[in-house]
Amino acid sequence: MKKSIALVAHDNRKSDLSEWVKHNREKLSGHRFFATGTTGSLIKEVLDNVVCLKSGPLGGDQQLGAMIAEGKIDMMIFFWDPMTSQPHDVDVKALLRMSVLYNIPTASNRSTADFLITSTLFSDETYVPLRKDYSTYLNRHHGQ
């Protein structure tokens, strides 16, 4: 089954993600990719089937967050830079929150990305992550 995979990298991590994609090209081929801005341009040089969204600071992170909420993303590889403050940190946090909220497997470094794509679940066509129903939480905490 084709997976829809989000690929995101901050400036200081773009070369790491690009190298990881090149190294895993065979394993990744045949899947669909959604990448933010410049990251998408780099990934298109290595993989087919890449949709480029806006740059993260210009709304790309929010586009991906919406796609996660709509069930259009199966997993996310997000090589973020822990050493540099980002002008759009609030968008980054919101994107990571969406991946947790909707139980999307998410890797923030190469080791975790390697674990995700080498897991037997990566190619298991029957695996569907559990989705928590937050409607009772919302009703309880917002007086609805």
Q: ∠ CA 72-76-77 to the nearest 5 degrees?
A: 150
Q: Is 48 a catalytic residue?
A: no
Residue 115 in tokens: 């674990």
Q: Are 52 and 37 in contact (CB under 8 A)?
A: yes
- The set of residues, in sequence order, having a beta carbon less than 8 Å from that of 18 and lying 6+ positions away, is 9, 42, 43, 45, 46
Of the candidates 37, 101, 31, 33, the residue with the CA atom closest to the CA atom of residue 66: 101
Catalytic residue among 11, 16, 48, 61: 61
Phi and psi torsions of 95, nearest 5°? -65, -45
Between CA 108 and CA 65 the distance in angstroms is 16
User: What are the residue numbers of the active site?
Assistant: 61
